Every structure is written in structure tokens, then in C-alpha cells.
Amino acid sequence: KQEVTQIPAALSVPEGENLVLNCSFTDSAIYNLQWFRQDPGKGLTSLLLIQSSQREQTSGRLNASLDKSSGRSTLYIAASQPGDSATYLCAVRDSNYQLIWGAGTKLIIKP
């Protein structure tokens, strides 16, 4: 059974720092992995989608990597800003086509 873990559960860093969020999964048989952000009380905003055949995807200050063999993905945020404060979730599409979610990392960027 696929399980997705995100560590740390919460992270607080000063503005301007580069940071890395982690996502690990137990079964390497995935179709893709997607990173989302969620602001309090809001829906989810898609950040990056990595297909199983890809190693990384970039969008602006965000870079996501995928290492299926080790069951890991990282989301790199460059030059963090207070507006990046949110909960970041990763989800993997497993071999049954279902999305399995991590519990999220709550990120706080201090001005």
C-alpha cells in the first residue's frame, strides 16, 4: 500500500532564504507526482507536475525533482518571500491511478 510522507510538518525561515521541502513515498510504481500549495481555508493550487519518466520540473522560483528509485521528491523554493507562506502538499498517482496524499508541510516565511 502506497504511503506518502512529508517532513518536516512545519518549517519557519527568514525571507530571502532558499529552502527544500521533502516528500517520500513507499512504492516506486507511480505514474506521476504533483506538488500543490494550500492557503488557509482555500482550495489547492497546482505548482508542478512531474511524470514518472521525468527527473525534474521548474516554474519560476520553484524546482521539483523526482527520484523514483529512492522514493523521493523535493520542492526547492528559491529566494523565499512572505507570500510563499502556505501549506505545501505532494500527491502521487499510484498504480491504481488513485492520488495518495502527504500530510503537508506548513511553511512560514518571516519578513
Minimal distance, residue 52 CB to another protein, in Å = 11
**What is the rounded CA–CA span in Å between residue 98 and residue 92?**
8
Q: Which is nearer to another protein, 80 or 87 (CB)?
A: 87
Residues in contact with another protein by CB under 8 A are 31-32, 34, 36, 41-46, 49, 51, 89, 91, 93, 96-99, 101-104
Q: Which is nearer to another protein, 2 or 85 (CB)?
A: 2
Q: Which residues make beta-bridge pairs with 36?
A: 46, 89
Look at the block and give the residue holding cell 491504481: 96
Minimal distance, residue 53 CB to another protein, in Å = 12
> Could you tell me which residues come within 8 angstroms of residue 51 by beta carbon, excluding any fewer than 6 positions away?
31, 32
Minimal distance, residue 7 CB to another protein, in Å = 15
Cβ–Cβ under 8 Å, residues 44 and 36: yes
